[in-house]
Amino acid sequence: MDARITLRVDGRVRPVALDTRTTLLDALRDHLSVTSPKKGCDHGQCGACTVLLDGRRVVSCLILAVACDGAEVTTAQGLAEEGEPHPVQRAFLEEDAFQCGFCTPGQVCSAVGMLEEVKAGHPSDATDDLTGPVTLDDEEIRERLSGNLCRCGAYVNIVAALHEEAES
């Protein structure tokens, strides 16, 4: 069965008709030609398809697009403003936090979402003090990004980029 939905993708209203079984990832890539989120495992385990859905990070391969009708979807491509990279994107560039680049869009979206979670005071499994502000040490960053896999092993530089961004 097909459904007509509207997504706001990277600031643009995008109406689309698609099968109700279509994932958000497939809607973005196959129906709207938004190729920033990557199809890695297609099981929600690698994080290559991570986007921000109404400001919260999600793996788009596990969410049905019809459940996102009217939602704001931000991809790594949509994080840039007026042609300027988002501060997290800039930090990734400055720290050389990518090699092949396949996982980078998902890593960047996850990092942006993670930094917002920290600002809001949301703890992770690695957070020691559940009542105070979250300190972004290496262990905290690694725990929060554990759902994003990098086969090239650029983790050291990714963690360095997030330290840089968290301190600014």
Residues in the chain, total: 168
Q: What letters, b where the CB count within 10 A reaches 16 and e where it falls short, cover 62-91?
A: ebbbbebeebebbbbbbbeeeeeebebbbb
Cα separation, 75 vs 10, in Å, equals: 6
For the beta carbon of residue 161, count every other beta carbon within 10 angstroms: 26
Q: What is the pTM of this model?
A: 0.94
**Residue-level pLDDT at 28:** 98
In tens digits, what is the pLDDT along the chain, a chain of 168 residues?
899 999 999 999 999 999 999 999 999 999 999 999 999 999 999 999 999 999 999 999 999 999 999 999 999 999 998 889 999 999 999 999 988 889 999 999 999 999 999 999 999 999 988 888 888 999 999 999 999 998 888 889 999 999 888 877
